């Protein structure tokens, strides 16, 4: 509408002004025109100056300005203004038309016809007005693109079934294909919902920019569906221990169903694991639903998250998401070192005694230089007390440190404790107690560096501290897997509130930057809640503190029923979480583990020796077992950027699950091995984020010198494409003196002058 | 019957219960106690009253040597539960604190079986159970205590008649679990000291000058236990032996040192085991 109004007033469409160069071509010398204008304007001004009577100074200025402006417009026309634009020579140039052939084009939005049908109507026939108009000016070359791109002889070759959209690859291919001919530009007809793996779009645009090839983008579809529910992303842990509580954040958005309650279902191989009610957010807002469940069966599990489709949804394929979680059937070992006999030992052991996926070895100092080791593998294990070498300590995946004073350890052992987390990647949990934290003299030690809390100065001798505290989850901790107590989500808060008070004997007030509190303590001794359970990442590992000394009261307090499992559940979840992602000597990961077939996947292996020092000179190989059972081998190369990091890229072409066995050796001696999984197949990627990506398409057009259109405005495309510097062109002069806006302005100023004069009694 | 402790009422964690740095052996501890002599002799610490027992919740100390107050035949000053009380308790804790690094409350700590706070003290000592006659509330309290995770240590009852009474009472508490001998290779006997033999510990005045160590028909000492279905030890039974007397009279130069020695060893092992298993 605006563009039509512009054309009515200015004679030409805006694109002509954008592309053209402004110039004057006066029929007489410009000096003559100037003199003529002055000759008309000056007497009028002088006349007004001499006119006395009812005219004051302001009237004379206004009237003079109106007259001068009118004369100026006239003079401007006499100078014969014009635009000089480059236009293509008909049939001398080629035009590439790239049509999105992916599955997202099957979506029906913005009307009764699908995106594909509307595209075919506009571009699918040589007799369509648009194609005819283009064909009059250009030699047309059609391409289809999805995950790949190729020349198109006929629109019937379009089946709109591509699993991915890789715009960068398509632009690159068209540019190369038309590289040897005069190319006026490229027209891309797409919804812009790109999900290709090449990541070449930015590079392709840069190349087109340097070649001077404009890209005209034609957007198809709606920027936002009228009615749709979409699961965007699921943040799931890659590996978990069998039977562990798992928390997955699922991002979802919707339009047209705001405020509706739906159920988010989690399935494992068709078996429903959990169903979580979700209150849908306002239109366009993204909300995150946290779902909790456990998976017992070991091995790679493809979990499905779905919301049942509602009536009238534009796309139902995006109501479902998948996540690959490897459920590990291993039993990490945790060393619990306690500096004195405490009931915490008894009840912690009791809580995890039946857990097949966590094993706690206890070393308890029972007197000076006397230790009691429980559940050791070998009777000689820990016989000398706490490990004195890294090799001995690093055999454990986790370390629980009870109440033991810092001076018990040598400086090297304290350094070793920090290295256990930072270098080995182990999980450390420091418990509260009379000899823990600052009260135990840890302030300023290497271990204090590793802890997530700030240790205050050593308390004054004899200034003992004891505070009954009530424990509750923080806002962040309320949805964390550790704090789930096996109750329904809505009952969780009440459950925590009902637990008996514990006691704290350590002054811990402040978290370190980057640390998170899962539980907080309140009590008479505190103005504000203080951290009770907090953690942070430290190097490769995770360090946590539990700043109370008697969680066993949650088992033995009179208010706790015999059948209550709170204490057991908390400790099982806490210890599993502590060690679930502790790395081995070789740890293999993939940048993405669920991919559309044909998408390249980068495998990364972190390799370290027995002391968990990263090894750069290792021989690292990946043995890949494809879904059909065929095997191949790929060497992993040192990435150079990080010590001990090796990489390789594989392309899973078969639908199904790939097993990747990574082995590392140094000088023939094995360092370790790991197994990871990649699942490829039809993930419905085309239906996620498949709304019209208008901003991205506009940006592509703008950066290359093209324009963005929708199917409603595309009829101007043939003319717009004609104004290009690209290809074989001629320069045209377009007169501007006869623009309606000039005549209107001239008349308006003259009329204004006459009206003003009438009001002052001069006419 | 409700009891009031008359010990000083300052907070438990701030008692002047300082530790001597030495005496880390049983013999040393026994010698220390002998040296203390009259200073540790019992004073009237218990009186009848209608005031609720002053237990500490949550407990400030890591360990309270808790004696079970149970109903039974009148024996001792306040009932059979109070035999050797409180001197035995105090002297055992003194030894415990010298021999180990347990943060133990330095005084006696009796709690009724029907007191709901009993569960906050997961190790419980009871003796003279041959005279025990539990009320239904005590049966419920003790059963809840044991099934929740508490450990009951029984001591100082002799002969078949007292056994029969104890067995009858404990059957009321734990009818579903059997009483079994605890073998010498049980971790309980190796948690702190390696105990290779179960010694009969006599009461004061026995085992010296030709007097026998046994009482009634309790000729052979036994260490027995009750385990739950998961193999957890719920009750440790010292039958035909009297650890409490050995603790109580460890400061008596006429009490045979080997018996005190063994009583402390077994007592310490029971505490270390009970706090970790």
Tokens of A716: 């101007």
Residue B274 has phi, psi (to 5 degrees) of: -65, -25
**Is the CB of B277 inside 8 Å of chain A's CB atoms?**
yes
Q: Which of A353, A364, A556 sits opposite B120 (nearest CB)?
A: A556
3-state secondary structure at position B245: helix
pLDDT tens for each residue of A98-138? 999 999 999 988 778 899 999 999 998 889 999 999 999 89
Residue, of A759 and B274, whose pLDDT is higher: B274
CA dihedral A666, A670, A671, A675 (to 10 degrees): 120
User: A503, B58: Cβ pair inside 8 Å?
Assistant: yes
Higher pLDDT pick, B10 / A374: A374
Q: For residues A582 and A425, what is the distance between their CA atoms, to the nearest angstrom?
A: 6
Which H or E element spans position A535?
Answer: strand A530-538
Chain B positions touching A372 (Cβ under 8 A) are 191-192, 272, 276
Lowest mean pLDDT among A416-430, A573-587, A705-719: A705-719
List of chain B residues whose C-beta atoms are within 8 Å of the C-beta of residue A502? 58
| Residue owning tokens 């052979």 | B220
A57 or B114, greater pLDDT? B114
Report the C-alpha gap between A357 and A519 in whole angstroms.
24
Gap from A407 CA to chain B (nearest CA, Å): 15
Q: What is the DSSP code string of B60-92?
A: SSSB--EEEE--BS--TTTSGGGTTTTHHHHHH
Q: How far is B124 from chain A (nearest CA, A)?
A: 13
Which string of b and e fits A596-616 if b means at least 16 CB within 10 Å? bbebebebbbbbbbeebeebe
Rounded to 5°, the CA angle A645-A651-A652 comes to 115
Sorted by sequence, the CB contacts under 8 Å of residue A639 that are 6+ apart come out as A604, A645, A646, A647
Distance from CA of B92 to the nearest CA of A (A): 16
The label of the residue with tokens 């590992």 reads A541
In order, the DSSP letters of A343-354 are HHHHHHHHHHTT
Contacts of B18 in chain A (CB under 8 A): none
B276 contact A CB<8A? yes
Mean pLDDT by 10 residues, chain B (277 residues): 33 33 49 45 36 52 95 79 94 97 94 94 97 96 97 97 97 97 97 97 90 93 96 97 96 94 98 97
- Give CA–CA dist A704/A209, Å, rounded: 5
pLDDT tens track for A605-626: 999 998 899 999 999 999 999 9
Cα–chain center distance at B14: 24
Q: Tokens in use for A149?
A: 């791109």
Per residue in A531-558, pLDDT (tens digit) is 999 999 999 999 999 999 999 999 999 9
On average, the pLDDT of chain A sits at 90
Percent of chain A with pLDDT over 70: 98
Question: SS3 for A520?
Answer: strand
Residue A662: the pLDDT is 97
pLDDT of amino acid A147: 84
Closest by CA to A600, choosing from A675, A641, A658, A644, is A658
Phi and psi, residue A498, nearest 5°: -85, -10
Our CA-based measurement puts residue B100 at a distance from the nearest CA of chain A, in whole angstroms, of 4
Residue A237 to residue A569: CA distance in whole angstroms: 20
- Across the strands, what pairs with A276? A264
| 3 state SS of A88 | strand
Distance from CA of A564 to the nearest CA of B (A): 10
Minimal-distance CA residue of chain B relative to A374? B276
A143 class by beta-carbon count within 10 Å (0-12 exposed, 13-18 middle, 19+ buried):
buried
Q: How many CA atoms lie within 13 A of A186 on its CB side?
A: 32
Least Cα distance to A630 among A602, A655, A658 occurs for A658
| Count of residues making up chain A | 763
Distance of CA A227 to the CA centre of its chain: 24
What is d(CA B144, CA A135) in angstroms, rounded to the nearest whole number? 91
Cα B261 from Cα B243, distance rounded (Å) = 10
Return left, alpha or beta for A101; rule: phi > 0 is left, psi -120 to 50 is alpha, else beta: alpha
What lies within 8 Å, CB to CB, of A640 at 6+ separation is none
- Contact: B103, A434; criterion CB under 8 Å: yes
Tell me the pLDDT tens digit for each residue of A46-55: 887 777 666 7
B140 touches chain A (CB under 8 A): no
Question: Which residues from chain A sit within 8 angstroms of residue B192, using beta carbons?
Answer: 366-367, 370, 372
Q: Is the pLDDT of residue A379 over 90?
A: no
Contact A370 B192 (CB under 8 A): yes
**Other C-beta atoms lying within 10 Å of the C-beta of residue A201:** 19
Q: Per residue in A31-49, pLDDT tens?
A: 888 888 888 888 888 887 7
Beta bridge partners of A334: A360, A398
User: Is B210 an 8 Å CB contact of chain A?
Assistant: no
Tell me the sheet residues that pair with A259. none
What is the DSSP secondary structure assignment for residue B275, as one 8-state letter? T
| CA atoms within 13 Å, Cβ hemisphere of B33 | 35
pLDDT at B27: 56
CA dist., res. A551 & res. A542, Å (int): 21
Backbone angles phi, psi at B160, to 5 degrees: -70, -35
pLDDT of B5 reads: 35
Cβ-contact B267, B247 below 8 angstroms: yes
Q: What is the mean pLDDT of residues A5-24?
A: 88
Residue of A558, A564, A568 to mutate, testing the B interface (most B Cβ within 10 Å of its Cβ) = A558
Give A347's contacts in chain B (Cβ within 8 Å).
Answer: 122, 149
Q: Do A558 and B117 touch (CB under 8 A)?
A: yes
What distance in Å separates residue A349's CA from the closest CA in chain B? 7
Residue-wise DSSP of B31-54: HHHHHHGGGGS----EEEESSPP-
SS3 A639: coil
Pairing of strands B233-239, B222-227: antiparallel
- Residue B158 to chain A, least CA–CA distance (Å): 31
CA angle A207, A212, A217 (to 5 degrees): 80
Q: How far is B214 from chain A (nearest CA, A)?
A: 33
Nearest alpha carbon to residue B96 among B78, B108, B110, B79? B108
Q: A601 pLDDT band (50/70/90 cuts)?
A: very high
Across chain B, how many H-helices and E-strands are there? 6, 9
Give residue-wise pLDDT tens across range A668-690. Answer: 999 999 999 999 988 888 888 88
* Dist CA A278 CA B192 (whole Å): 56
Residue B225, strand partner residues: B180, B236
Contact criterion met (CB below 8 Å) for B243 and B263: yes
For the beta carbon of residue A391, count every other beta carbon within 10 angstroms.
Answer: 11
Q: Do A341 and B272 touch (CB under 8 A)?
A: yes
The answer to whether residue B9 neighbours chain A at the CB level (below 8 Å) is no
Q: Chain B residue with minimal CA distance to A368?
A: B101
Number of H helices, E strands in chain A: 18, 35
Alpha-carbon torsion (B13, B19, B24, B29), positive or negative: negative
Judged by a CB distance cut-off of 8 A, whether residue B100 touches chain A is yes
Helix then strand then coil, in percent of chain A rounded to 5, is 30, 35, 40
**Chain B interface, best mutation among A344, A346, A407, by max B CB count within 10 A:** A346
In 3D, which of A230, A160, A198 has the Cα closest to residue A691? A230
Q: Which chain B residue has its CA at the smallest distance from A365's CA?
A: B101
B56 to chain A, any CB pair closer than 8 A? The answer is: no
pLDDT at A489: 66
In the prediction, which pLDDT does B48 show? 39
- Mark A439-470 as b/e (b = at least 16 C-beta within 10 Å): bbbbbebbbbbbbbbbbeeeeeeeeeebbbbb
Does the CB of B102 have a partner CB in chain A at under 8 Å?
A: yes
User: Chain A contact for B191, CB < 8 A?
Assistant: yes
What is the per-residue pLDDT for B45?
Answer: 37
Cβ distance B120 to A557 less than 8 Å, yes or no, reads yes
Residue of B60, B63, B188, B275 best to disrupt the A interface, most CBs of A under 10 A:
B275
Distance in Å, alpha carbon of A526 to nearest chain B alpha carbon? 17
Pick the closest to residue B246 from B259, B228, B227 (CA basis): B259
Residue B116 sits at the chain A interface (C-beta within 8 Å): yes
Cβ <8 Å between B99 and A367: yes
CA atoms within 13 A on the CB side of A321: 21
pLDDT at A174 over 70: yes
Contact A362 B62 (CB under 8 A): no
Whole-angstrom distance, CA of residue A324 vs CA of residue A342: 41
Separation of alpha carbons A588 and B203, rounded Å? 67
**pLDDT tens digits along A385-424:** 999 999 999 999 999 999 999 999 999 999 999 999 999 9
Q: How much is the pLDDT for A414?
A: 97
């Amino acid at each position: 509408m605006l563009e039509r109004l512009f054309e009515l007033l200015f004679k030409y469409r805006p694109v002509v002004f954008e592309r053209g160069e402004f110039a004057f071509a006066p029929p007489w010398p410009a000096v003559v025109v100037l003199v003529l204008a002055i000759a008309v304007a000056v007497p009028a001004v002088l006349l007004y100056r001499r006119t006395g009577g009812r005219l004051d100074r302001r009237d004379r200025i206004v009237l003079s300005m109106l007259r001068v402006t009118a004369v100026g417009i006239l003079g401007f026309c006499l100078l014969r203004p014009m635009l000089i634009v480059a236009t293509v020579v008909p049939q001398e140039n080629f035009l590439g038309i790239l049509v999105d052939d992916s599955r997202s084009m099957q979506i029906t939005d913005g009307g009764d016809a699908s995106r594909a049908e509307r595209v075919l109507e506009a571009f699918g026939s040589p007799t369509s007005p648009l194609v005819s108009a283009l064909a009059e000016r250009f030699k047309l070359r059609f391409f289809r693109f999805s995950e790949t791109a190729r020349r198109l002889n006929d629109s019937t070759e379009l089946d709109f079934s591509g699993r991915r959209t890789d715009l960068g690859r398509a632009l690159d291919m068209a540019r190369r294909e038309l590289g040897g001919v005069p190319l006026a530009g490229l027209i891309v007809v797409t919804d812009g919902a790109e999900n290709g793996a090449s990541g070449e779009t930015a590079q392709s645009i840069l190349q087109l920019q340097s070649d001077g090839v404009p890209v005209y983008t034609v957007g198809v579809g709606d920027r936002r569906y009228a009615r749709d529910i979409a699961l965007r992303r699921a943040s799931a842990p890659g590996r978990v221990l069998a039977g562990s509580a798992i928390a997955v954040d699922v991002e979802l958005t919707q339009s047209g169903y705001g405020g509706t309650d739906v159920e988010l279902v989690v399935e494992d191989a068709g078996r429903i694991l959990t169903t979580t009610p979700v209150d849908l957010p306002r239109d366009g807002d993204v909300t995150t639903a946290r779902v909790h469940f456990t998976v017992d069966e070991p091995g790679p599990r493809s979990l499905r998250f779905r919301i049942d489709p509602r009536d009238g949804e534009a796309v139902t394929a995006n109501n479902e998401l998948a996540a690959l979680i490897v459920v590990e059937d291993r039993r990490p070992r945790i060393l619990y070192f306690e500096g004195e006999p405490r009931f915490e030992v008894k009840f912690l052991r009791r809580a995890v005694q039946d857990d097949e996926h966590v094993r706690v070895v206890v070393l308890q100092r029972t007197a000076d230089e006397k230790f009691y080791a429980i559940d050791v593998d070998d009777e000689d294990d820990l016989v000398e007390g706490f490990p004195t070498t890294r090799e001995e300590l690093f055999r454990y995946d986790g370390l629980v440190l009870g109440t033991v004073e810092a001076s018990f350890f040598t400086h090297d052992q304290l350094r070793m404790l920090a290295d256990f987390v930072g270098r080995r990647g182990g999980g450390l949990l420091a418990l509260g107690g009379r000899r823990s934290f600052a009260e135990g003299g840890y302030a300023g030690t290497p271990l204090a560096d590793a802890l997530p809390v700030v240790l205050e100065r050593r308390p004054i001798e004899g200034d003992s501290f004891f505070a009954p505290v009530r424990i509750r989850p923080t806002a962040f901790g309320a949805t964390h897997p550790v704090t789930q107590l096996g109750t329904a989500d809505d009952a969780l808060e009440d459950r925590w509130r009902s637990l008996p008070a514990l006691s704290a004997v350590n002054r811990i007030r402040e978290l370190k930057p980057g640390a998170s509190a899962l539980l907080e303590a309140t009590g008479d001794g505190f103005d504000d809640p203080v951290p009770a359970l907090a953690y942070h990442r430290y190097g490769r590992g995770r360090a946590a503190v539990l700043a109370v000394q008697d969680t066993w009261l949650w088992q033995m307090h009179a208010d706790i029923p015999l059948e209550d499992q709170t204490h057991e559940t908390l400790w099982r979840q806490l210890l599993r979480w502590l060690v679930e992602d502790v790395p081995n000597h070789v740890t293999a990961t993939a940048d993405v583990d669920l991919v559309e077939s044909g998408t390249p996947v980068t495998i990364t292996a972190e390799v370290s020796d027995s002391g968990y020092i990263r090894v750069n000179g290792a021989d690292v190989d990946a043995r890949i077992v494809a879904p059909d059972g065929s095997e191949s081998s790929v060497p992993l190369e040192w990435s150079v950027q990080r010590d001990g990091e090796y990489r390789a890229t594989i392309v899973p072409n078969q639908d199904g699950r790939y097993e990747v066995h990574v082995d590392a050796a140094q000088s023939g001696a094995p360092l370790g091995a790991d197994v990871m999984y990649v699942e490829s197949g039809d993930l419905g990627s085309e239906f996620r984020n498949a709304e019209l990506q208008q901003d991205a398409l506009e940006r592509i057009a703008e950066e290359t010198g093209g324009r963005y259109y929708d199917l409603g405005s595309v009829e101007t495309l043939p003319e717009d494409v004609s104004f290009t510097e690209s290809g074989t062109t001629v320069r045209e002069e377009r007169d501007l003196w006869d623009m309606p806006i000039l005549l209107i302005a001239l008349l308006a100023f003259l009329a204004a002058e006459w009206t003003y004069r009438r009001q002052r009694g001069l006419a | 019957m409700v009891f009031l402790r008359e010990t000083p009422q300052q907070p438990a964690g701030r008692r002047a219960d300082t530790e001597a740095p030495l005496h880390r052996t049983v013999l040393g501890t026994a010698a220390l106690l002998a040296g203390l002599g009259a200073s540790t002799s019992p004073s009237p610490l218990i009186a009848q009253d209608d005031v609720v027992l002053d237990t500490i919740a949550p407990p400030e100390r890591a360990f309270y040597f808790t004696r079970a107050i149970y109903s039974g035949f009148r024996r001792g000053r306040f009932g059979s539960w109070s035999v050797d009380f409180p001197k035995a308790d105090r002297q055992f804790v003194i030894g415990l604190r010298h021999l180990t690094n347990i943060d133990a409350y330095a005084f006696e700590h009796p709690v009724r079986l029907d007191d709901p706070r009993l569960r906050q003290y997961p190790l419980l000592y009871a003796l003279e159970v041959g005279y025990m006659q539990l009320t239904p509330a005590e049966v419920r309290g003790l059963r809840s205590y044991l099934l929740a995770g508490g450990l009951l240590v029984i001591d100082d009852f002799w002969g078949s008649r007292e056994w029969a009474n104890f067995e009858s009472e404990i059957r009321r508490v734990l009818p579903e679990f059997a009483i079994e001998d605890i073998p010498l290779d049980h971790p309980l006997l190796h948690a702190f000291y390696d105990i290779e033999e179960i010694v009969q510990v006599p009461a004061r005045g026995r085992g010296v000058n030709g007097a026998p160590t046994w009482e009634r028909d309790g000729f052979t000492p036994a260490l027995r236990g009750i385990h739950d279905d998961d193999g957890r030890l719920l009750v440790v039974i010292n039958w035909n032996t009297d650890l409490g007397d050995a603790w109580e009279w460890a400061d008596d130069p006429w009490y045979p040192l080997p018996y005190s020695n063994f009583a402390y060893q077994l007592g310490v092992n029971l505490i270390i085991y009970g706090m970790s298993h």
